[in-house]
């Protein structure tokens, strides 16, 4: 394992962490936006039944997007903190992100490339967690 391999991988993992956080915070914002749009549409309709149906649909959509986003935010945070579980979670999230065209597809491909194609990715997380390295790019 060369020192430059870990430094390059360290850079990719930082980028991946922030991309996962940004994409999933954006998804959360979309959920909140849809919720308020549907509530507003129900209020403008001035119909009690329409308002209740749109409130339920808005709550459901926002709930689904929250449930989808939280694991991605956790994966991004875990990657930034170099947690060993974050690599596996990010791979799973990256695989499912492939279906979210176009941004999720880009993040998913980059995640799979950075964490699967680089042979030293598992060694990187092992060295960081087992050996107790605090700043991999400085120590390696």
**If you average pLDDT over residues 115-132, what whole number do you get?**
72
Backbone CA torsion sign across 11, 12, 17, 23: positive
State the pLDDT confidence band at 133, using cuts at 50, 70 and 90.
low
Count other C-beta atoms under 10 Å from residue 117's C-beta.
8
Distance of CA 74 to the CA centre of its chain: 7
Residues 6+ apart with CB under 8 A from 25: 69, 73
- The pLDDT, as a whole number, for residue 137 is 44
Residues 6+ apart with CB under 8 A from 71: 89, 93
Question: Which one is predicted more confidently, 139 or 46?
Answer: 46
Q: Judge whether residue 2 has pLDDT over 60.
A: no
| 62 within 8 A of 35, measured Cβ to Cβ | yes
Residues 6+ apart with CB under 8 A from 34: 58, 61, 62, 65
d(CA 74, CA 17): 9
**Nearest by Cα to 26 from 134, 136, 100:** 100
Render pLDDT for 93-121 as a digit per residue (tens, 0 to 9).
Answer: 999 999 999 999 999 999 999 988 766 77
Render pLDDT for 17-47 as a digit per residue (tens, 0 to 9).
Answer: 999 999 999 999 999 999 999 999 999 988 8
pTM above 0.85, yes or no: no
């Amino acid at each position: 394992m060369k020192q430059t391999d870990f430094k390059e991988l360290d850079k990719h993992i930082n980028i991946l962490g922030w991309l996962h956080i940004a994409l999933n915070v954006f998804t959360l914002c979309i959920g909140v936006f849809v919720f308020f749009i549907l509530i507003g549409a129900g209020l403008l309709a001035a119909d009690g039944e329409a308002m209740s149906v749109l409130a339920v649909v808005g709550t459901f959509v926002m709930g689904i997007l929250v449930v989808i986003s939280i694991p991605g935010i956790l994966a991004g945070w875990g990657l930034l903190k170099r947690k060993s579980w974050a690599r596996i979670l990010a791979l799973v999230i990256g695989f499912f992100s492939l279906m979210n065209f176009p941004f999720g597809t880009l993040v998913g491909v980059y995640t799979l490339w950075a964490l699967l194609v680089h042979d030293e990715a598992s060694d990187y997380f092992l060295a960081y967690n087992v050996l107790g390295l605090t700043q991999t790019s400085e120590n390696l």
